[in-house]
């Protein structure tokens, strides 16, 4: 039983893109720890800034929730929103 000479070429053509993708993935994943450390060291990553940003996001979500629940045009309200 003879092996068709086109099989090794076909396997090589299929393996090259897979190997290239694997090498690129390994190269990108290798810097993940450095990226995580750099994100931790950015300004604004301290506890006070994070809690302030969290509170700001809560206020925005509350305003969006109120706007979704009412038929009034909340865009025309004055800044100190009151129910």
d(CA 64, CA 58): 10
Contact of 39 with 45, CB cutoff 8 Å:
yes
pLDDT digits (tens, 9 = 90+) for 7-45: 988 999 999 999 999 999 888 887 778 888 888 888 777
Residue 81's region, left for phi above 0, alpha for psi from -120 to 50, else beta, is: beta
pLDDT digits (tens, 9 = 90+) for 53-68: 999 999 999 988 888 8
């Amino acid at each position: 039983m003879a092996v068709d000479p086109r099989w090794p070429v076909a396997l090589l053509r299929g393996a090259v893109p897979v190997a290239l993708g694997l090498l690129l993935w390994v190269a990108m994943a290798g810097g993940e720890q450095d990226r995580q450390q750099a994100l931790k060291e950015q300004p604004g990553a301290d506890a006070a800034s994070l809690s302030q940003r969290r509170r700001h996001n809560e206020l925005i979500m509350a305003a969006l929730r109120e706007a979704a629940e009412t038929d009034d045009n909340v865009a025309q309200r004055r800044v100190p929103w009151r129910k």
